[in-house]
Structure 1
Amino acid sequence: MKTRCCCSKRYLLVFSILLVSVGSIFMSVSLSSCSSPSVKNQLLLCADSLMETYPDSALSILESITYPQKMPRADRALYALLLTQARHKNYIALEDDSLIKTAVDYYGDKKKSLRAAKAHYYWGAIYSEKGYASFAVEEYLTAIRLMPVRNEFLAMIYDNLAECYEEDRLYNVAIENYRAAYQILKGKDEQTYPMRGIARVFLLQNEKDSALYYYQQALDCALADQDSSLIGALYHDLAMVYSEKKDYIQADKFVSKAILLQGQDAINTCLSKAQIMLNLNKLDSASYFFSKNMDELDIYGKAVCYDGMYQIAKRKGEWKTATENMDAYKILYDSMQIMTDNEELNRLMDKHQLEEHKRLLSEHTRTLIFSLITAFSSLMIICVFCFMWNDRKRKKHYIALQHELTQKRVDTMLLKEEELSESNKEHIDKKRSELTEQQIQLCISVLKTTDCYDQLEALERATPKQLLVMRSLRKEIRSDISNAFVDVMMNLKERYPALTGDDVFFCVLSLLCCSKTVVMELMDATSDALKTRKNRIKNKMDAQIFERVFGVDNQ
């Protein structure tokens, strides 16, 4: 009755998983026809939520998505990551890394995030499956660096990293990583796996007592968790340790327990049992276990069986049977040697291709960097050239203006001499007005070539608070304006001696069309004071000149 109830529950669980898969597929097909990008997002999130508990359902959902290449870049990256993860969890060989590289390129290797860590972990898993331990180690280390939290996934990365170091015979480093995984999983059901790894590395180092201790600790944890498959595997492991210690009676005790627990899955365990029986000189039992599952073994297992049966026949004195088994063993050994050579050749070729790809990528990166440096240097040279050319042009313009100003001074002096000799005052006044106007324009042009003009514009735009900050520049600005308008100021002073220095400077600021605020700031005067000064100036100069100087202000 209890067995029937358990079966019913199992069927119910399988039926519910099938319903989820079919429902997800139907949802994908029906909603993807609407071409809504948010629907695909929901499917990805649904697959992500099912990944740990029902990876087969997650795989069904992901494989039902049509045209993933049309997804937005973020969704496409998540799709690539989840599909690789689902295939890995469903024990589907990961032969190509082009899919996971989409996720790796998107999530990068700079900012910590769980998805970035997973992308690099599964890239490392692909390398590991292909036998490229060094490349796998590099990606696992990147995944560890990118992990934002210490959880079971980080422990899994450490565990896989330890296996890579174990394959490279870096046993001390492997144990360190197994211990790191154990520290994260300590007190949890999964703690048995890193403990088993530590025991295996100690056994590889021929430290049998340490291996026996850790295998026993792992077995105690598995017994507490009632994990029958893991208990059977650990019984087998303990049998191997005792066999290495040549305690074949204890080895037989544990291997027998393993066979009872593993049942039909005990193919390799039966092979170990046969070896132990052979060492105990129980030849009939050894012969039985060697031949029991021979058809289900791979080429390596069959070779061990034929070698073992050769040893049995040799001890029994059955030379014909021994010869037949040795011949079968040699045929298998030759085939194994060819396979090993081919695998090594393929591994070397793949490694060469990877190294060549990395070399080309490195050359491309160097070329790109060199191109960028060249382009930047060229741009800098062009900028410097443009700056120098513009500066030279500005200086030439400034010199030309100075020459014109000098010429106007000469013209003014000649006009004074002409004024003494000629009686046509109207003609002289007209000529003087023209010279004055030309001087004013030239002085304005000279000022525009200096930094003072930019400072004046900044004063025009400044807020009251900024005006307070710029008040320290007042003396410098006044000096620059006076130097630029020295000819205009001298002419005004000569023609109207009653004008003071501040009066003349006020006239220059008016000619520059400075705002009332700027004039008040540069002259350090109030609005009423400026009005009074303007009235005084009006009484000191001709109406025509006054109109020219303050005409803009009057408007």
Structure 2
Amino acid sequence: MYRFLCLLFMYALLVMSCSHSTHEQKLLLTQADSLMQIKPDSALKLLKKITNYKQLANGDKALFAILWNKALLKNDIEVSSDTLIRYATNYFGNNDPVNAGYAWYLLSRCEKSKGNAQGEADALFKAQEYAINSKNLKLQACVWDAKSLMYKSQHKLDSMYRYTNMAYRAFQKQKDTRNAVICLLNMGVNSSMSKRVDRALAYYLKAEELAKHTNEPLLLSSAYIQLSYTYYQMGDYPKALQYSRLSTKTSDCYDYNKWINMASIYIKTGALDSAHYYLSKCSPSEDRIKFYYELWETLHEKRGDFKNALTYEKKYAFILDSLNKKSLSESFAGLEKKYNYQKYQSENQSLTINNQRKNILILILLLLLSCVAMLLFIFKNRQHRKLLIQQRLLTSKEEALVKKEQEKNTILTKQFDIQQNALKAISLLKQNASTFIKEDDVFKNTKTKKEFVTQQNEALSALYKNTIENVDLLYNNISKRLATSFPDLLESDILICCLLLAGFDNISIASLLDILPKSYNMRRTILRKKLNIPHEVNLTEFLANF
């Protein structure tokens, strides 16, 4: 019985641990959120490091769902599955209207990818409610822009214009010039579709003015293309040609569209050779192939080449039939897609009900195990207290050992300082003795002079040896480690290393070794080569970290 209860308790702990976010995962979410606007590709890479998002806590899981869908959207990756984003729509509510609004907005994008127009409309309706309550201009602009595109696909031009205008004002308030320009272009398209060319021209001119301040050539080029097309509709071909040329100079993207526009203008103005030149450069996309063949047909008719005109007329008719067939097949595919979506939706609902039942059973199990958990907690708490007492004893012993070690190091440091002062004094004595030997008549005898110098050198050698031993105490036998790692080092090289670690400057070391500073610099250079030290690395720092 006891074993069975323990197993149940471990299972409950496992379930609880599955809904826990680590510090690293929370940090990744924060970093991804901060990079989302400026570097969405980097944000997506960070989010991919969270391999199992289902183990996150509920709030972090919902935030991950929003960030993941945002990153895919900003990186132009289509999202058709709504399973993940529904975590966020179920979690966020009126207590956090901003995240709730983004959750429903991103769900509408998923529904749009699936071709579910009703689902898209419902999600945007919920997103609009939260956007208005949140008073967040950025969220409001995104929602209204999405609604304008939805109404555009439904050919409801008045509603499209209304929401595009609302999105434009929201972008203007937050000084988002780029998106404001896009809204102006969309309002121009709306006006063109409504046969209000003058209003469209006004919007395109305003978009051109704003686009000049964005440093985005493609955006400015788009404004020029729309202005060219609008002037073309109005019959002002010189201005249409002027803006068409500006679009090619501003950006080289979508050149085939620009060349087709220029060819159509030249056909209207009678410059057939120029029209032929630009049409020959084109390799049009599927959406403009029909217009492309129509221009070739018109060009050959105006030249009197009816044979080629008839050829392009046949191509035009063939493309028209192909497009009609494709439209019909897409219509059937859309119906099949809608049927499959409804089927998957019903399956998801049944899975949701099963998951809810499992969650209820888990809650009941946790309630039954709460008493056992309390008893185990009391037992573990007593053991924990005993461990704390033992840890305190161990900590006090470790502190005592550390204190002794610090005292030992302090004594060694003081001894080393005394030794260093003694070395400096000996160096001075050596200089004075050398001067005295040269000047005093007592030391004119060569034998006496040699004996004196020998005694001085022996004293210095003993002092050098003592210095090396003290440096070894402070730097973990560095002289032996240097000799082992670099066999080419001489005793004088190791002495120089120890004197550097002892804090002597270059002049003092040269004086102690009784050599010229120039000679010492040469020996120091040779020493760096033996130690394989790069030019930018300090010799003393290298030795201290060796």
TM-score range, shorter chain: 0.5 to 0.7
**2: CA distance between counterparts of 1:192 and 1:284?**
36
Give the counterpart letter for 1:343 in structure 2.
E
Matched, 1:345 2:332: yes
Unaligned runs of at least 5 residues, structure 1: 1-34, 366-555
Q: What residue in structure 2 maps to residue 104 of structure 1? A: 89
- Give yes or no for contact 2:115–2:338 (8 Å, CA) kept in 1: no
Listed one character per residue, the Cα deviations across residues 278-317 of structure 1 (whole Å, up to 9, x for unaligned) are 22232222222223131xx322323322221122112222
Q: What residue in structure 1 maps to residue 59 of structure 2? A: 74
Judging changes above 3 Å, is the alpha-carbon distance between structure 1 residues 186 and 42 closer, same or farther for their aligned structure 2 residues?
same
**2: CA distance between counterparts of 1:37 and 1:220?**
49
Q: What residue in structure 1 maps to residue 309 of structure 2? A: 322
Give the counterpart letter for 1:277 in structure 2.
Y
**2: CA distance between counterparts of 1:191 and 1:264?**
21
Match of 1:143 among 127, 137, 141: 127
Listed one character per residue, the Cα deviations across residues 141-164 of structure 1 (whole Å, up to 9, x for unaligned) are 211211213322321221121111
Unaligned runs of at least 5 residues, structure 2: 1-19, 353-546
**2: CA distance between counterparts of 1:342 and 1:142?**
33
Judging changes above 3 Å, is the alpha-carbon distance between structure 1 residues 36 and 158 closer, same or farther for their aligned structure 2 residues?
closer
Q: What residue in structure 1 maps to residue 525 of structure 2? A: none
**1: CA distance between counterparts of 2:216 and 2:311?**
43
Judging changes above 3 Å, is the alpha-carbon distance between structure 1 residues 150 and 361 closer, same or farther for their aligned structure 2 residues?
same
Q: What residue in structure 1 maps to residue 414 of structure 2? A: none
Match of 1:298 among 273, 282, 285: 285
Match of 2:249 among 239, 260, 274: 260
Q: Residue 196 of structure 1: CA displacement?
A: 2.2
Judging changes above 3 Å, is the alpha-carbon distance between structure 1 residues 157 and 292 closer, same or farther for their aligned structure 2 residues?
same
* Matched ranges for 1:37-52 at <5 A: 37-52=22-37
Q: What residue in structure 2 maps to residue 414 of structure 1? A: none
- Give yes or no for contact 1:150–1:184 (8 Å, CA) kept in 2: no
- Give yes or no for contact 2:98–2:139 (8 Å, CA) kept in 1: no
Q: What residue in structure 1 maps to residue 318 of structure 2? A: 331
**1: CA distance between counterparts of 2:72 and 2:334?**
23
| TM-score, length of structure 2 as denominator length | 0.56
Q: Residue 334 of structure 1: CA displacement?
A: 2.9
3-state SS of the aligned residue for 1:92?
A: coil
Q: Residue 212 of structure 1: CA displacement?
A: 1.0
* Matched ranges for 1:211-226 at <5 A: 211-226=200-215
Q: Residue 362 of structure 1: CA displacement?
A: 9.9
Q: Residue 242 of structure 1: CA displacement?
A: 1.3
* Matched ranges for 1:83-122 at <5 A: 83-108=68-93, 110-122=94-106
- Give yes or no for contact 1:299–1:332 (8 Å, CA) kept in 2: no
3-state SS of the aligned residue for 2:252?
A: helix
Q: What residue in structure 1 maps to residue 534 of structure 2? A: none
Q: Residue 111 of structure 1: CA displacement?
A: 4.5
Q: Residue 222 of structure 1: CA displacement?
A: 1.7
Give the counterpart letter for 1:94 in structure 2.
V
Give the counterpart letter for 1:114 in structure 2.
V
Q: Residue 82 of structure 1: CA displacement?
A: 1.2
Match of 2:169 among 166, 170, 183: 183
**2: CA distance between counterparts of 1:272 and 1:138?**
39
Q: Residue 208 of structure 1: CA displacement?
A: 0.8
**1: CA distance between counterparts of 2:189 and 2:308?**
36
Matched, 1:282 2:271: yes
**1: CA distance between counterparts of 2:113 and 2:343?**
20
- Give yes or no for contact 2:21–2:60 (8 Å, CA) kept in 1: no
Q: Residue 125 of structure 1: CA displacement?
A: 1.5
Q: Residue 174 of structure 1: CA displacement?
A: 1.7
Listed one character per residue, the Cα deviations across residues 498-554 of structure 1 (whole Å, up to 9, x for unaligned) are xxxxxxxxxxxxxxxxxxxxxxxxxxxxxxxxxxxxxxxxxxxxxxxxxxxxxxxxx
- Give yes or no for contact 2:89–2:103 (8 Å, CA) kept in 1: yes
Q: Residue 91 of structure 1: CA displacement?
A: 0.7
**2: CA distance between counterparts of 1:277 and 1:134?**
45
Q: What residue in structure 2 maps to residue 495 of structure 1? A: none
Give the counterpart letter for 1:46 in structure 2.
Q
Q: Residue 361 of structure 1: CA displacement?
A: 9.0
Q: What residue in structure 1 maps to residue 188 of structure 2? A: 199
Give the counterpart letter for 1:152 in structure 2.
K
Give the counterpart letter for 1:290 in structure 2.
L
Judging changes above 3 Å, is the alpha-carbon distance between structure 1 residues 151 and 36 closer, same or farther for their aligned structure 2 residues?
closer
Where in structure 1 do 4 or more consecutive aligned residues deviate above 6 Å? 356-365
3-state SS of the aligned residue for 1:186?
A: helix
Q: What residue in structure 2 maps to residue 128 of structure 1? A: 112
Matched, 1:243 2:227: no
Q: Identify the range of structure 1 (255-264 vs 350-359) with the bigger mean alpha-carbon deviation.
A: 350-359
Q: Residue 40 of structure 1: CA displacement?
A: 1.1
**2: CA distance between counterparts of 1:270 and 1:160?**
31
Give the counterpart letter for 2:70 in structure 1.
Q
Q: Residue 62 of structure 1: CA displacement?
A: 1.1
Listed one character per residue, the Cα deviations across residues 155-194 of structure 1 (whole Å, up to 9, x for unaligned) are 1221121111122122222222122122222262242222
- Give yes or no for contact 1:299–1:336 (8 Å, CA) kept in 2: no
- Give yes or no for contact 1:132–1:351 (8 Å, CA) kept in 2: yes
Give the counterpart letter for 2:98 in structure 1.
L
Q: Residue 360 of structure 1: CA displacement?
A: 8.9
Q: Residue 136 of structure 1: CA displacement?
A: 2.1
Give the counterpart letter for 2:109 in structure 1.
A
Judging changes above 3 Å, is the alpha-carbon distance between structure 1 residues 307 and 130 closer, same or farther for their aligned structure 2 residues?
farther
Matched, 1:62 2:47: yes
* Matched ranges for 1:510-549 at <5 A: none
**1: CA distance between counterparts of 2:204 and 2:327?**
31
**1: CA distance between counterparts of 2:194 and 2:239?**
21
- Give yes or no for contact 1:112–1:145 (8 Å, CA) kept in 2: no
| TM-score, length of structure 1 as denominator length | 0.55
**2: CA distance between counterparts of 1:363 and 1:206?**
50
**1: CA distance between counterparts of 2:106 and 2:21?**
29
Give the counterpart letter for 1:175 in structure 2.
Y
Q: Residue 89 of structure 1: CA displacement?
A: 0.3
* Matched ranges for 1:221-232 at <5 A: 221-232=210-221
Q: Residue 133 of structure 1: CA displacement?
A: 3.9
**1: CA distance between counterparts of 2:347 and 2:253?**
51
**2: CA distance between counterparts of 1:97 and 1:289?**
45
* Matched ranges for 1:356-505 at <5 A: none
- Give yes or no for contact 1:212–1:241 (8 Å, CA) kept in 2: yes
Match of 1:169 among 143, 155, 158: 155
**1: CA distance between counterparts of 2:223 and 2:292?**
23
3-state SS of the aligned residue for 1:93?
A: coil
Judging changes above 3 Å, is the alpha-carbon distance between structure 1 residues 263 and 160 closer, same or farther for their aligned structure 2 residues?
same
Judging changes above 3 Å, is the alpha-carbon distance between structure 1 residues 67 and 360 closer, same or farther for their aligned structure 2 residues?
closer
Q: Residue 359 of structure 1: CA displacement?
A: 8.2
Matched, 1:233 2:222: yes
Larger radius of gyration between Structure 1 and Structure 2? 1
Judging changes above 3 Å, is the alpha-carbon distance between structure 1 residues 129 and 356 closer, same or farther for their aligned structure 2 residues?
closer
Give the counterpart letter for 1:211 in structure 2.
A
- Give yes or no for contact 2:101–2:139 (8 Å, CA) kept in 1: no
Judging changes above 3 Å, is the alpha-carbon distance between structure 1 residues 168 and 121 closer, same or farther for their aligned structure 2 residues?
same
Give the counterpart letter for 1:63 in structure 2.
K
- Give yes or no for contact 2:21–2:57 (8 Å, CA) kept in 1: no
Q: What residue in structure 1 maps to residue 384 of structure 2? A: none
**1: CA distance between counterparts of 2:73 and 2:101?**
16
